[in-house]
Amino acid sequence: MTPAPEQLSFLPPTPFAPAWPAPHTLADRALSQLMAGQTLDHPAFEGTTRSWRLAAVVFQLRSLGWPIEAIDVPAPTAEAPTRYIARYTLAPRWAAAALAANGGADD
C-alpha cells in the first residue's frame, strides 16, 4: 500500500507522543494488532474480540494521540449492496516511532 501524501508546513511538527491505552482493554488489543502491521475492520475485530465497538476503540486511540487512518472499502450485502466499511491502519513509521520512544516495547 502506498502511503498517503502529506501536506508540507512551515511550522515545526508537533512531537509524536501518544499515550498508551490501559493494558488488557479493547484499545490495547486493537493497538497491538495495528502495531504488528495488521489492518482492522469490523468483522475481523468482532471475530477476535467478540466486540462490535471497533469505531469507538479507534476514536479512543485517536484521542490518545495515535494517527490511525481509515480507508473505506466496499462490503456489499444482499440487504445493502452499496455498503462500505472502514478498514483501519497505523503507518509503520508511527509504530516504529512509538516503539523507539518507549524503549522498544509497548506497555
- How far apart are the C-alpha atoms of 68 and 62, rounded to whole Å? 6
Percent of the chain with pLDDT over 70: 93
pTM of the model: 0.80
Give me the CATH number covering residue 31: 1.10.10
pLDDT of residue 101: 83
The answer to whether position 90 is within a domain reads yes
In terms of pLDDT, which residue wins out, 83 or 15? 83
* Count of the separate structural domains present in the chain: 1
- The answer to whether 51 and 105 have CB atoms below 8 angstroms apart is no
The answer to whether position 11 is within a domain reads no
Q: Which domain does 53 fall in, by range?
A: 26-101
What's the CA angle centered on 18, arms 50 and 29, to 5 degrees?
A: 15
- How far apart are the C-alpha atoms of 86 and 81, rounded to whole Å? 16
pLDDT of residue 6: 74
The answer to whether position 92 is within a domain reads yes
The answer to whether position 18 is within a domain reads no
* Closest of 57, 66, 68 to residue 90, by C-alpha: 68
